Structure 1
Amino acid sequence: MSPIDLEAMLQGISRWVAIESPTRETADVNRMIDAVARDVDGTSIAVERIPGKEGLGDSLILRAGPQNDRPGILVMSHVDTVHPLGSIARDLPMRREGDKFFGPGVYDMKGGAYLALEAFRRVAASGAATQPLTFLFTPDEEIGSPTTRGLIEELGAKASAVLVTEPARDGGKIVTGRKGVGRFDVHVEGRPAHSGSRHEDGRSAIREAARQILAIEGMTDYPRGVTTTVGMLAGGTAANVIPQHARFSVDLRVVEPLDGEVYKAKILGLKAADPDIRITVVGDMNRPPYKKTAAVEGLFLKARAIAAEIGIDLQDVPLTGGGSDGNFTAALGVPTLDGLGVDGDGAHTLHEHALVSSIVPRTQLMERLLTSLR
């Protein structure tokens, strides 16, 4: 195939990064979906657009290669980011400084999504695919894929291998295992009272929430691979009122599926120390654990051999704490490789950047995976 044009790749990535697309900004997420569709316009790639649900953006399915009943390769990317609108103008201007290319979402994961699309286009144009190729772009990964999990699992179940373009780790390593993720919301309701004249009549929701937060944080068990985090807290109405309400969120991460059920039950079963206070908990495991099974190991070894042919010493990170859409396909038993996007650092931060030097090699790797995996 022809050489990969780095400057053209940078221009394409820049176009995508310039379209700021926080998950909840549906119109902007759909502008990104529009951009993906435009970038395959006039090619042999078939395009299917799936309307969004629950007020979120659309999904896009691209298909190339022979279209038959044979299990093929599924590539997955998301177009939503965590950075609010205006980040390019204020806090994270898009720019290149040496080997670093800065911008909101460039590392997680527009750089990886773009290079994978370039590889997909090149393979489609060459006719080198020997099995069905499917590329899914989703709008809601950053909030746990609430509207696209079913689509991911439907397409994943038909695949022989899944390739996810989340960013690379630790200098180019790919991901072959992730923790499972649980998300829960806790509402504590007490009894309001004047904090000066009727203090004894009140039942503080914030005081009870503090007890529960300490208990939840105390569930963390590092040797077991379990972490529990209260990441958001709100409550009260005024400084001189015993607070009636308090709310907080809980993030649960586990290595083993059974631990997900055990700790979910603990969190859903929270009981107030004060009988006059009511606690309501809603939530569930959001992403199942992604285990490095023998099938995943086998796929990794194939990918490593393919990478070696183009001079890449492909290594993996056997377990990472963050979840992705790869969790869903891996839990179905479909061999899944993740972290195949750009190398860089600073996901979700104001120094988020991709390494320019990683773009061409990672594109070459994706291209070879699409044509050589069996």
Structure 2
Amino acid sequence: MRVELFESRLLLADIGRLVRCESPSHDLAAVARSADVTAAVGSALLGAPPEKIVLDGRTHLRWRLGTGPRRVLLLGHHDTVWPIGTLDRLPFEVREGVLRGPGCFDMKAGVAMIFHAVAALPGLDGVTVLITGDEELGSPSSRGLIEAEAGEHPAALVTEASADGGALKTERKGVSRYEVTLLGRAAHAGLEPERGVSATVEAAHQVLAVSGLADHSLGTTVTPTLLSAGVTANTVAAQGEFAVDVRCRDVGEQRRVDQAIRSLEPVLAGARVEVTGGPNRPPLEHTASADLFVLAAKLAAGLGIGPLEKAAVGGASDGNFSAGVGTPTLDGLGAVGGGAHAEHEHVLVAELAPRTALLAALIGELVTR
């Protein structure tokens, strides 16, 4: 495998096709249109159409190449966080070696890289490509599909964008999300506040209790986020709620925090606390990626594009699910750049060919093992 095999011009053309088809996760019609475009780009390079899998109205694409035993699963997603119309403000463009456009870094460049890397291989038997359409929502419909596919493969490669400086993502925190509801009793705030039970005050107690579950020495963050209570300014609030975002490096910490949040008790007499939600993604622990990173570093050196760096990150991906079922998983193999979910989202064009060559070399090595 040689870097020169991958023409940035061709990669850029396909990335442009994907980026120009806007695909916000919440818009089912937009995701369906994006699936059609992604299928067309992939089919032209892979020589076969994908299976379209529609779950809860969301369109996912799967190519199972060859008839032999499954060897390697390639994971990506074609949905983005950007609403329809963003292209009018942030059009797809390439200028001075930088590619821009909504979703280019997270992760339409990575999807195009999968297609070009696989197409460059002399043999495709045992390769599975799975491109989902709801990752930015937490993969509610595709999680089971990802886990089932990962369970049939000895390795998974994820072309989410790289970490800073092009580092591969060898560790991702697990994610849990909760909604804590506080139930009190309404009363007039001026005439008889003592007859009420304030959900606002109860929320204050519970926000502090939840915040105290964090353990920064272990990398565990527990962050209350959205908060609301009451309906008018002169009424003791009868109900309130707040959201909680939890990130943990290992399953033990994820379970500890889960048990603690579910065990919250009210502080005010007459108040009630209800908790919904729970773990959304298991951690991608460093042990899941260690051997694959060593292999990637060796192949990168052979391609003359090393040394590779690795990083532990707080954000999650579908790689958390493949690692969660015990499949060795290496993430961050996609574009080098920055600004995911931000208006300065961008991809460094000079890194596209080398990174695609590395991806192809990894796939080839795993297929022939």
Q: TM-score range by the shorter chain?
A: over 0.9
- How big is the shift at 1:46? 4.7
**1:197-236 superposed matches below 5 A:** 197-236=191-230
Secondary structure at the aligned position of 1:8 is classed as helix
User: How do 1:320-339 residues align onto structure 2 when only pairs under 5 Å count?
Assistant: 320-339=313-332
In structure 2, the partner of 1:51 is 54
Q: Partner letter of residue 340 of structure 2?
A: A
Deviations 1:199-240 (A, max 9, x none): 222222122112211221222211011100112122221222
Instruction: Tell me the equivalent position of 1:346.
Output: 339
Q: Which residue of 1 aligns with 2:36?
A: 34
Asked if 1:122 corresponds to 2:120, the answer is yes
**Deviations 1:37-67 (CA, angstroms, capped at 9, x unpaired):** 11134553352111121x4x11110122x31
Aligned counterparts of 1:30 and 1:107: Cα–Cα separation in 2: 21
Matched, 1:5 2:4: no
Contact 2:39 2:49 in 1 (8 A): no
C-alpha displacement of 1:24: 0.9
2:96 aligned residue (98, 102, 106) = 98
Quote the residue 1:366 is aligned against: 359
Could you tell me how far 1:120 is from its partner in structure 2?
2.0
Give distance in 2, aligned partners of 1:233 and 1:31.
35
Flag the 1:254–1:172 CA change in 2: closer, same or farther, 3 A.
same
Percent identity between the two aligned chains: 39
Instruction: From the superposition, tell whether residues 87 and 198 of structure 1 become closer, same or farther in structure 2 (CA, over 3 Å).
Output: farther
1:85 is matched with: 84
Instruction: Trace 1:165-180 onto structure 2 (pairs within 5 A).
Output: 165-180=159-174
Correspondence for 1:132: 126
Deviation at 1:348, TM superposition (A): 1.1
Structure 1, unpaired ranges of 5+: none
Give distance in 1, aligned partners of 2:219 and 2:42. 42
Contact 1:45–1:63 under 8 Å retained in 2: no
Contact 1:208 1:273 in 2 (8 A): yes
Shift of 1:94: 3.1
Structure 1 residue identity aligned to 2:276 = V
Counting matched residue pairs gives 364
How far 1:176 moved relative to its partner? 1.2
The equivalent residue for 1:307 is 300
Are the counterparts in 1 of residues 111 and 159 from structure 2 also a CA contact under 8 Å?
A: yes
* Letter paired with 1:67: T
Q: SS in structure 2 opposite 1:145?
A: coil
Deviations 1:222-261 (A, max 9, x none): 1011100112122221222222221111111111211111
Superposition RMSD in Å = 1.8
SS in 1 for 2:102: coil
Shift of 1:177: 1.2
Q: Distance in 2 between matches of 1:212 and 1:87?
A: 38
Asked if the contact 2:14/2:41 (under 8 Å) is kept, the reply is no
- Name the SS of the counterpart of 1:40 in structure 2: helix
Q: Give the C-alpha shift of residue 326 in structure 1.
A: 0.8
Conserved in 2, the CA contact under 8 Å of 1:174 and 1:314? no
Equivalent position amino acid for 2:67 in 1: Q
Q: Taking structure 1 as reference, are residues 318 and 4 closer, same or farther at Cα in structure 2, changes over 3 Å only?
A: closer
1:251 counterpart (245, 253, 256)? 245
> 2: distance between equivalents of 1:201 and 1:132?
68
Q: Is the 8 A contact 1:95 1:103 kept in 2?
A: yes
Distance in 1 between residues matched to 2:231 and 2:307, nearest whole Å: 55
Q: CA–CA distance in 1 between the matches of 2:289 and 2:143?
A: 20
TM-score (norm 1): 0.92
CA distance in 2, matches of 1:158, 1:214: 44
Amino acid at match of 1:180: G
Report the residue type matching 1:313 in the other structure: G
Counterpart selection for 2:18 from 16, 32, 37: 16
Q: Report the alpha carbon displacement of residue 314 of structure 1 after superposing the two structures with TM.
A: 4.6
Amino acid at match of 1:3: L
Distance 2:133 2:353 in 1: 26
Q: Name the CA distance, whole Å, in 2 between partners of 1:99 and 1:105.
A: 17
Superposition pairs for residues 271-310 of structure 1, below 5 Å? Answer: 271-293=265-287, 296-310=289-303
Higher helix fraction (1 or 2): 2
Instruction: Return the alpha-carbon distance in structure 2 between the equivalents of residues 12 and 164 of structure 1.
Output: 19
- Quick one: distance in 1 between partners of 2:250 and 2:43? 43
Q: Give the partner amino acid of 2:50.
A: V
Deviation at 1:178, TM superposition (A): 1.1
Q: Distance in 1 between matches of 2:183 and 2:17?
A: 48
